Structure 1
Amino acid sequence: MRSKLKEDGSLIRVENLSFAYETEDIIRDADFFINRRDVITVVGPNGGGKTTLLRILMGQLKPRKGRVLISGAQSRIFGYVPQYSTMDPSYPITAFEVVLSGRVKNFGFYSRADKQAAADALEAVGQEDSGHKSFFELSGGQRQRVLIARALAPDPEVLILDEPTANIDAEAEKQLNVLLKKLSLEHTIILVTHDLGFVNEMTTRVLCVNRHVKEHPVDSLDDGLIASAYGRQVKVVRHDHDLHHHEGGAE
């Protein structure tokens, strides 16, 4: 159940939340909160419940028990950037049209304000010169920025990114990091990833999701904590202030 949260400083509060597909438990007894301007990194193994948790937060799935409390206008709170685009690559669509589609309309007519919001969103991600170009002719990093702009177009409070580093090269990842730091000044950000290199200095808290949801401050991450989240031994190392992980035995 999603309900309006009374003002207590939190933007989102999850209470005693559980979810199951038929008889298989996916999320068990989750309790956590998210404040405005938090940058939350969600980590955990594939199949551990990360994407399911996101879908519950966004109201796409109903929990078996528990509730999600949200402060403010629920219809505009989330902007979502998927791991993969579901658009048909043979469809002739420009980057601007992709972003404009984020201004969802019941009858397909976009106002001048909608078009200005789309232009502003492209500028916010540094792709204002790509608006007239075919979306599928852009590089992987550029396409991802356009998808971020689409998520920003309705002016959400929370920006959710699912595996943001999965389909981009190292240089695009650096640029993404810079962009997210800028966006975090005005938005709450939730990053879902198994790439611990993205658990860096801009992350305020970490949610480890593997059926249970455990919250940790960034500076508490160590080999044992991450191993408990992944259900196997994981080696955490630091490179240039970023965290990375290696699965398997200790080095």
Structure 2
Amino acid sequence: MASASDLQEQGLAFYSKHEQYLLSPQKSLSLIVHEPFNCPSWLVAGIIQQSLSNDNECYLSPQSPNRQKTASPTFLYSFSNTELTYSKYLHKYVTKNRNMFTFESYITEDSISLDTWDKSICEQLEKSAKLCDSSPVVILENPELLLSVVPAMTISKLLSQIMTIQQKSALYVVTSSSIIGAPQFLPALLHRSSLLISLTPLTTGRADDISGILSISPGPVQSNDRIEDRLSIADRQYSYLVTTNAVKLYFK
């Protein structure tokens, strides 16, 4: 494989008919699956930035065309990280409409009941709908951890809670490819998704100029969004390089 220095940097896109576009249709489930050591915080930050922008801005697509859109209320709920994980990216790239962004970490917020976590999110989404005309974007990070910390939680119940939130938003679920104790959860979630994004390390290990491989493929569920002319998933792969100061992507 050619090194990054030999390749032309590319802008990231999830949909082939809308170049440099990362936002999924309402009531759809997009699944971001990563290896334990391939943290996707840089990717999540790009989705947040574009969701909050009015002009399709996204640092992962440096030459993104001006595509006028309405900023969306955006919610990131994490069961595995605090805002410190995202602080570098949010501080540097997410500068517009920050008042429309909500971050909640379930590992630091004691007032949130893990038994009824989905109800509190739905209440926030309903409140947002009354204050804003644009539809919300929700990112759930590692909800599978509830299976090990909530005694009464089952895979069926957790999937039902996730689907309830999906009906009120464009939903992205970030999950690990190795779910200890509940290997059936990931396949069950996959069968409900319309977009699959996976981050994997190089088969030969980590290289100095490549951090990993990002793959995009359609999920089993086809989007019913007719306004966007049934968005076509861009089935492709990128090599990506994450450094202290930047993230770069190259067609693989």
Shorter-chain TM-score: which interval?
0.3 to 0.5
TM-score by length of 1: 0.40
Q: Greater strand share, 1 or 2?
A: 1
